[in-house]
Amino acid sequence: MRHYLQFSDLTTDEYAYLFDRASLIKKRFKAYEKHQPLVDRTLAMIFEKASTRTRVSFEAGMYQLGGSVVHLTTGDSQLGRAEPIEDSAKVISRMVDLVMIRTYEQTKLECFAQNSRVPVINGLTNEFHPCQIMADLFTFLEHRSSDKNQKININDLKGKVVAWVGDGNNMANTWLQASSIFGFKVHVCTPRGYEVDPKVAGMTSQNSFEIFRNPIKACEGADLVTTDVWTSMGFEAENEARKLAFADWCVDSKMMSSAKPDALFMHCLPAHRGEEVSAEVIDGPQSVVWDEAENRLHVQKALMEFLVLGHQ
Ligand code: CP
Ligand code: NVA
């Protein structure tokens, strides 16, 4: 049994397989062809934080695969009344085939997985957001395919430069993990006090990232510029302090113009126009944020199929 708790839980070859599979699943979806390998299987989704994309993509995705979904939140389950995670995991995993969890500390997710009889997927923790980065990489590969038939080839990521302009948060940590798996480089630029901690990210290679102090310099030569909200869920008490610290970390057209002319812009969403990104950039021609959001559906369908049934 395999879990997907952080990006490094899968190998480069497994990602290559999943991206191929996601392409096929996406083609079938667009052609209204059924792809239902998970008939009679059930996914439990546990949300301890808010969500739009993760909820819709996992729920719609599981129904499209032929299965069904149970949706739980802290407020409407015994999770919010201090039932131990171990007990919840033992019970829930006897009744379903797969569990997706969005929670706070990664340790909570790990505790659930250790006590689960079925695969567990990270739908976002304070430390990581692996499903999002899987969708982001798939989106990059679709837009930058070197193949004449637009086939996805993970080697197209090799040697590329991704500029991370923003908080050293769950998204930043996950980009760092992905860089050593796919052989691209991350230019990380955060305000002082909001740096990434390579140890938290679980980095195996020091060569795949470089720290910058100036966001414009970080964007120089980038193939992809990406950012995220200044204040992540769970950190709302720091909102005012963060607004001051991040004032110069707005991805605007000046920053984009220091990247490569064909650089893409990504944001996991939800976005705050005028804070971490200007409206001109997120709604402009280099932005691929809507493809990025849609691809959550396709890559996660491939992931769910893989975790429940293995290679097809
Ligand atoms: N990007 C993302 O995970 O969005 P939601 O918070 O809406 O799920
Ligand atoms: N870093 C953000 C991502 C939201 C999808 C958060 O954790 O709130």
Q: 69-117, pLDDT tens digit by residue?
A: 999 998 999 999 999 999 999 999 999 999 999 999 999 999 999 999 9
Residue to substitute in 102, 169, 239, 266 for testing ligand 2 pocket (most ligand atoms within 8 angstroms of CB): 169
Assess whether pLDDT exceeds 90 at residue 205. no
Give the ligand with the smallest distance to the CA of 170: 2
pLDDT for position 202: 86
pLDDT tens readout for residues 284-310: 999 999 999 999 999 999 999 999 999
Reading phi first (left if > 0) and then psi (alpha if -120 to 50, else beta), residue 205 is in beta
Known catalytic residue at 252: no
How many Å lie between the centroid of ligand 2 and the Cα of residue 129?
8
Angle between helices 12-30 and 289-309 (to 10 degrees): 110
Q: Which two tokens stand for residue 29?
A: 């979806």
Ligand 2 touching residue 22 (CB < 6 A):
no
Distances in whole angstroms, Cα of residue 4 to Cα of each of 103, 105, 308: 14, 15, 12
Ligand 1 touching residue 269 (CB < 6 A):
yes
pLDDT band at 44 (very low <50, low <70, confident <90, very high): very high
Q: What sign results for the dihedral spanned by CA atoms 107, 111, 114, 116?
A: negative
Residue ranges in the chain assigned as alpha helix (H) = 12-30, 53-64, 85-95, 106-114, 130-143, 170-182, 198-201, 215-219, 239-245, 253-258, 279-282, 289-309
pLDDT for position 198: 87
Lowest pLDDT segment from 17-26, 71-80, 124-133: 71-80
Buried/exposed code over 107-139 (b: 16+ C-beta within 10 A; e: otherwise): ebbbbbbebbebbbbbbbbbbbbbbbbbbbbbb
* Residue carrying structure tokens 């610290």: 245
Q: pTM for this structure?
A: 0.98
% of the chain residues with pLDDT over 70:
100
The residue whose C-alpha atom lies closest to atom 1 belonging to ligand 1 is 268
Phi, psi of 280, rounded to the nearest 5 degrees:
-60, -40
Assess whether pLDDT exceeds 80 at residue 24. yes
pLDDT tens readout for residues 244-288: 999 999 999 999 999 999 999 999 999 999 999 999 999 999 999
pLDDT for position 176: 96
DSSP-derived 3-state class of residue 172: helix
Q: Exactly one of 3, 102, 187, 298 is catalytic; name it.
A: 102
Give the position, in ligand 2's atom list, of the atom nearest the Cα of 51.
Answer: 5
Q: Exactly one of 6, 132, 177, 286 is catalytic; name it.
A: 132
Taking alpha carbons only, the member of 233, 232, 267 closest to residue 250 is: 267
